[in-house]
Amino acid sequence: MSAEADQVTATRRSGAVAGAPTVAGGVLDVRELPSFGFSHRSVMWWGTAGLMAIESTVFALAIVVYFYLRTHSELWPMRSPPPELLWGTLNTVVMIVSLWPNQLAKRAAMKLDKSGVQLWLSVCTVLGFLILMLRGLELTALNVRWDTDAYGSIVWMIMLLHTTHLVTDTWDTTVLDVLFFTGPLEGKRYVDVNENAIYWNFVVLSWLPTYAVIYFGPRG
Amino acid sequence: MTVSGTASPPRLNSVPPSAEDAAALERTWRDPPGLLGWLAAINHKEIGKRFIVTAFGFFVAGGLLAAAMRLQLAQPDNRLIGPDLYNQIFTMHGTTMMFLFAVPVMQAMSIYLVPLMIGSRSVAFPRMNAYGYWIYLFGGLMLFVAFALNIGPDAGWFSYVPLAGPDYSPGKRVDFWAQMITFTELSALIEAVILITGVLKLRAPGMTLNRIPLFVWGMLVTAFMVMFAMPAVMLASTALITDRLVATHFYNPAEGGDAILWQHLFWFFGHPEVYLIFIPGLGFMSAIIPTFARRPIFGYSAMVLSLIATAFLAFGLWVHHMFATNLPELGKSFFTAVSMMIAIPSAVQIFCWLATLWTGKLVFKTPLLFTFAFFFVLVLGGMTGIILASVPLDLQVHDTYFVVAHLHYVLIGGAVFPLFGAFYYWFPKITGRMLSERLGRWNFWLFLIGFNVTFFPMHMLGLQGMPRRVYTYGAEMGWSNLNALASLGALTIAISMLLFVINVWRSLRHGAVAGPNPWNAGTLEWSTPSPPPACNFEAIPVVGGRDPLWEPGGVRGHVAGLAVDSRELLMTTVLDAEPETRESFPEPTIWPFVGAVATTVFFIGSIFTPWAIVWGSVPVAIALTAWFWPKRRENTAHLALERAP
């Protein structure tokens, strides 16, 4: 092992910083470091990850409640037909399609490409509102009310839970989109676009098991 | 901050920091003056202090409710408090202590302490932190206003259905309870995310994961538990309130719902909650014991692994609260086994502390006395825990005063005694003055004696069959003497608490000046003045060990090159705490407060009409958008410091 490698190992072992500005004479100069970073380098990424962990727990528990109630009932649905497949399935397809411009917005953000972000964020915003409209139609085709029976209650709870995510993230995307046209901008705003895209992935991916439960739970 | 739209280059700190650096940092990081400034405050120390004082206020309120119950039960056939008010009082006592005191006070302590202990200048999301505080405050006040108006909840702190359902609890009482859950759990979840992010990203350079102070480890583990436990109770209480307000049927067996579902969801949160209260207590122990034993902690890695093991096991024993329900016996045996197993990591930690104390040179100050009480009281509570974890024994004493005795031994022994130790330990850091040792010893002994006189007789009362939650009892039951004794103990606890308040009050004015490190402790918070300046550290320290101040030569160095006239912070890598980026942090703003008010209107409005969910969300959206929207002046300052990755 070279003397230099020895030095690095020694610094690592002692917990001092390696591969970064070194502590020379008790001074660690950080002025050359970047002022923002993507992915796990940013606090926003960790905040978003925490939010996703919490909300995944809520979705998982809501689905557990669905099946808990199902095992306690001889008939499921108890007295109503299952939800109609049309709007829910169509919305699922649109949501999956929306992952593509979402990914492009994310990529543009990581390249600090302002016009790319403007374009793809706008597409995402439009798709967000389209998905919300389809969700409205979905809610009219559930074939059960929340106060009909326990089946209706849990179906509505899961649907509204997911709809809340759609509403909040569509609003989030809209605000970010407007900001990219009006300013003021700084590097951190690109990190926000990146985190917003990650969160949208979560909103769509959390829908897939939810879709399966809501639409095929009563058919299985 | 002083940077405006000019092109002047940002001013960066030097090491050692000059007087101008220090003055500029103070201007940059302090909260604005005046009433509006007070409402806009986001400095973690200011929010932390408010959080601690508020939680202690709820502790006193919960304690007064307990005193009212002990007054009522002091003699048989007492008519001082009627059954309806008594139901509200015991529900309010449990709810206050669990939701408004025990969990929040731990988070409150961490909001103040963790950034100082990890060598940072802020929590990860300072505005969100302020929002979390206001939500907690408003939720707690809502509950007490409801109680004052005779619409306080009355179905017990765990609000079992069907009693808490629409058929047996008409009116709004339980709705206020359910919304209080929404407020406090929202606040707790926010604080958990803030804490995790801060501990993982804002540590001083060199503070690798295996050098984090054990208190910070405890709070990190707690925060992870909050993230996975609290959603269960939020979901459960939302289902409860919709059952009550919009006629859903989650808990209504007549329409396919199930009452036991409530118990599963509640205890899936409720048992981990015991550990949300207990693990920070362990963290306090691990901070105090090394300082007063004058040596580093024995078995650091074993301690950390025990904390993590406890957190995992805590999620596997919720059914031991449900042994009296009709669940499969085999399932109950599993939960008995896990309940017994959790004693193992707890014991590992206790033995590590004993080893630390055994091999140390003890300094008998008040904080250490409180940790000794932990050993005695918690171990007694643990013993009765073993009894309750066993199905046949549990069935004998289920819903009796034996359970009341057990839970108070565990929670007060495991969390409140260490918490008081922590108050005595960190009071000098927070205020700059020492608490009186003499009053502290009186406080300690009266609390310890009063506690045992209050709760030990309850074991006997439970074994004699006295049920929980009865507002009175007949003289012929033979419970009078033990109850009178318990009430006498409660009076002693009240006196000890009064002494504590007097001690705080006097010491704030006349206490001995503390200096930066009055206990000669080893962690970073003691390297900065008491109370710390607005920026915590004039230069961020570079850390070379677990107890940086006890390392030969002290801290390894300091960070230079961070802005002093703009809120800039150093971010480090998750595992090794190597410098990664310098990030600009947000400035104080009124919007978190406005957002919290809007959220409060939304939550309370929805108790009265489901349409509040629609119209109430508009002001919330406006406030949160205004909160996010960047200000040009701040933006200019950030651009001056910007350097793309």
A179 touches chain B (CB under 8 A): yes
Calpha distance B552→A220 (Å, rounded): 68
Residue B102 per-residue DSSP state: I
- The residue-averaged pLDDT of A139-144 equals 97
Distance separating alpha carbons of residues B600 and B203, to the nearest angstrom: 34
**Closest chain A C-alpha to B530 CA, distance in angstroms:** 24
Ordered DSSP codes for A67-131: HHHHHT-SSSSSSSPPPPHHHHHHHHHHHHHHHHHHHHHHHHHHTT-HHHHHHHHHHHHHHHHHH
Token pair 């550290």: residue:
B537
pLDDT at B3 over 60: no
Over residues B87-102, the pLDDT tens digits come to 999 999 999 999 999 9
- Comparing alpha-carbon positions, the chain B residue that sits nearest to A78 is B256
Contacts with B231 from chain A: Cβ below 8 Å: 54-55, 57-58, 61
- Average pLDDT value for residue range B536-554: 94
First vs last Cα of chain A: how many Å apart?
63
Residue A2 in this model has a pLDDT that exceeds 50? no
Shortest CA distance from A172: residue in chain B = B625
Please give the pLDDT value at position B605: 96
* Residue in chain A nearest B250 by alpha carbon: A150
A 15-74 residues with CB below 8 A of B?
A: 15-21, 23, 25-38, 40-43, 46-47, 50-51, 53-55, 57-58, 61-62, 65, 68-69, 72-73
- pLDDT (average), residues B508-530: 97
What whole-number distance in Å separates Cα of residue B526 and Cα of residue A153?
Answer: 54
* Alpha carbon distance B398, B384 (integer Å): 12
Beta carbons of B641 and B582 less than 8 angstroms apart:
yes
Distance from CA of A34 to the nearest CA of B (A): 5
B638 touches chain A (CB under 8 A): yes
Is A150 close to B256, i.e. CB distance below 8 A?
yes
What's the rounded mean pLDDT across residues B491-512?
A: 97
Cross-chain residue pair B558–A78, CB shorter than 8 Å: no
Residue A149 in tokens: 């029976």
Q: What is the pLDDT of residues B294-321, one digit of tens each?
A: 999 999 999 999 999 999 999 988 888 8
Task: Give the position of tokens 């001083």.
Answer: B204
> What are A13-53's pLDDT values in tens digits?
333 443 344 577 789 999 999 999 999 999 999 999 999 99
A·B CB contacts under 8 A: 233
The pLDDT of residue A14 is 39
**DSSP string of B583-631, one letter each residue:** EE-PPP-SHHHHHHHHHHHHHHHHHH-TTHHHHTHHHHHHHHHHHHSPP
Residues of B with Cβ-Cβ distance to A148 under 8 angstroms? 255
pLDDT of residue A26: 86
Q: Is the pLDDT of residue B177 over 80?
A: yes
Nearest to B454 by CA among B400, B418, B480, B492: B492
ipTM entry: 0.93
The Cα–Cα gap between B220 and B210 comes to 13
* Digit-coded pLDDT (tens) for B400-418: 999 999 999 999 999 999 9
User: What pLDDT, in 10s, does the model give residues B463-475?
Assistant: 999 999 999 999 9
Kindly state the tokens that stand for A100.
């593509």
Residues of A in contact with B581 (CB under 8 A): 33-37, 41-42
Encode pLDDT of B422-451 as tens digits.
999 999 999 999 999 999 999 999 999 999
| Interface check A178 vs B, CB under 8 A | no
Closest-CA residue of chain B to A21: B579
> How would you label B179-204 residue by residue, b for 16+ Cβ within 10 Å and e otherwise?
bbbbbbbbbbbbbbbbbbbbbbbbbb
What's the CA gap between B143 and B179, in Å, rounded? 9
Q: Which residue has the tokens 């950030």?
A: B638
The average pLDDT across B229-255 equals 96
> Residue B319 has what DSSP assignment?
G
- Please give the mean pLDDT across all residues of chain B: 95
Query: Model pTM?
Result: 0.94
Helix (H, G, I), strand (E, B) or coil at A34: coil
pLDDT at B336 over 60: yes
Report the range of poorest mean pLDDT among A92-96, B75-79, B82-86, B550-554.
Answer: B550-554
Q: Out of A31, A43, A62, name the one closest to residue B12 (CB).
A: A31
